[in-house]
């Protein structure tokens, strides 16, 4: 397979990069000073794209690679791939479901605890020596809080199961009520937010779910409510979020994702009721290795005419 051209869109994992380099003819897109010219030169040799949640395969790049057969994404999210165009052109698409569910759900619970119990602020308190001057103020209990989940897919369900262990009643919103769960269903995100203390975004990013958390939803969650986003930045109207947090119309937020990563609104930096993470939901050594192996496995399956491991298209 050494002759097969694979285009990696951005740096994402050194093990993956090394293995792609060993097994295929690897092109590193981000190192190309003239990307348009590079694409034109390699148009006949690139047969696969490896992207992630930052950079995938948009219509432009798909159109400039006539020999493209497969997009193997180093992510479960598919929002950076023009799926319609791939379908039209018969280009296969794979992602990495299941293998990162536990890590992302673990982190969602971590964010809830960190925001309510002010874990980051407490850590600063100890390190700065402030503890010697007096005890830290009281915080907010997490157990038994009502957790509302937007999207009860693999990750949403894993968050629900973990929150249940903290005796949290679970509410959810999804396009339709799920038959196989006793969690309480709400038919709108505003209703879900009105009936929850903590609102978790765990759905896929699509045009329909962009800004699914808008001002109305934040107001329904209210000054004691906490928003947790482990989905995608554009799920939340970030300008409204900043304003709701700054003005105290929203109680707090735990955010792993942002609208224009790695840019994060600086107005959030001074707020102690906010915990900010650099998109690390699946970022453990163990899980990223499994994700990389899945990306490689899908490419190898495709180029040896075997069934794809995790096909999307
Ligand atoms: C990815 C993610 O691992 O899977 C996703 O959709 O957002 C992340 O967890 C990320 O693409 C890694 O670069």
Domain ranges of the chain: 5-97+286-303, 101-276
Question: Is residue 51 lining ligand 1, measured as CB closer than 6 Å?
Answer: no
Alpha-helix residue ranges (DSSP H) falling in the chain: 14-23, 35-42, 59-64, 83-89, 101-116, 119-127, 154-164, 189-194, 215-221, 238-246, 285-303
Confidence of residue 28 (pLDDT cuts 50, 70, 90): very high
Q: What gap in Å lies between CA 70 and CA 284, rounded to an integer? A: 26
Q: What is the pLDDT of residue 151?
A: 98
| CATH number of the structural domain 101-276 | 3.40.50.720
Confidence of residue 115 (pLDDT cuts 50, 70, 90): very high
CATH assignment of 5-97+286-303, among 1.10.357.10, 3.90.1150.10, 3.40.50.720, 3.30.70.3450: 3.40.50.720
Instruction: Give me the catalytic one of 47, 92, 232, 288.
Output: 232
Which residue lies with its CA nearest to atom 5 of ligand 1? 75
Long-range contacts of 296-302 (CB under 8 A, 24+ apart): 296/16, 296/19, 296/20, 296/23, 298/70, 298/72, 298/94, 299/6, 299/20, 299/23, 299/24, 299/48, 299/50, 299/70, 299/72, 300/1, 300/23, 302/48, 302/69, 302/70, 302/72, 302/92
- Fold match flag (5-97+286-303 vs 101-276): yes
Closest-lying ligand 1 atom to the alpha carbon of residue 104: 9
Confidence of residue 232 (pLDDT cuts 50, 70, 90): very high
Question: Is residue 75 lining ligand 1, measured as CB closer than 6 Å?
Answer: yes
What pTM was computed for the model?
Answer: 0.97
């Amino acid at each position: 397979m050494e002759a097969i051209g694979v285009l990696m869109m951005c740096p994402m994992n050194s093990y993956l990069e090394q293995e792609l380099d060993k097994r295929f003819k690897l092109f590193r897109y981000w190192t190309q000073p003239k990307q348009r010219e590079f694409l034109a030169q390699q148009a006949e040799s690139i047969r696969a794209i490896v992207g992630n949640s930052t950079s995938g395969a948009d219509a432009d790049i798909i159109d400039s690679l006539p020999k493209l057969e497969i997009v193997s994404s180093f992510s479960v999210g598919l929002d950076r791939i023009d799926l319609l165009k791939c379908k039209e052109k018969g280009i296969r698409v794979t992602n990495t479901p299941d293998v990162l569910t536990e890590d992302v759900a673990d982190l969602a619970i971590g964010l809830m605890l960190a925001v309510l119990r002010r874990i980051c602020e407490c850590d600063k308190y100890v390190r700065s020596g402030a503890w010697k001057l007096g005890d830290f103020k009281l915080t907010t209990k997490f157990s038994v809080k009502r957790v509302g989940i937007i999207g009860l897919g693999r990750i949403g369900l894993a968050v629900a199961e973990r929150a249940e262990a903290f005796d949290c009643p679970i509410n959810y919103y999804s396009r339709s009520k799920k038959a196989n769960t006793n969690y309480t269903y709400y038919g709108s995100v505003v209703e879900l937010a009105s009936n929850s203390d903590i609102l978790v975004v765990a759905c896929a990013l699509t045009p329909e779910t962009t800004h699914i958390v808008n001002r109305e939803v934040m107001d329904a969650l209210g000054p004691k409510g906490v928003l947790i986003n482990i989905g995608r930045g554009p799920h939340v109207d970030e300008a409204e979020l900043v304003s709701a947090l700054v003005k105290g119309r929203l109680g707090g937020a735990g955010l792993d994702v942002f609208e224009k990563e790695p840019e994060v609104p600086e107005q959030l930096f001074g707020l102690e009721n906010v915990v900010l993470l650099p998109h690390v939901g699946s970022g453990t050594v163990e899980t990223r290795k499994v994700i990389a192996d899945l990306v490689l496995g899908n490419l190898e399956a495709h180029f040896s005419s075997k069934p794809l491991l995790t096909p999307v298209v």
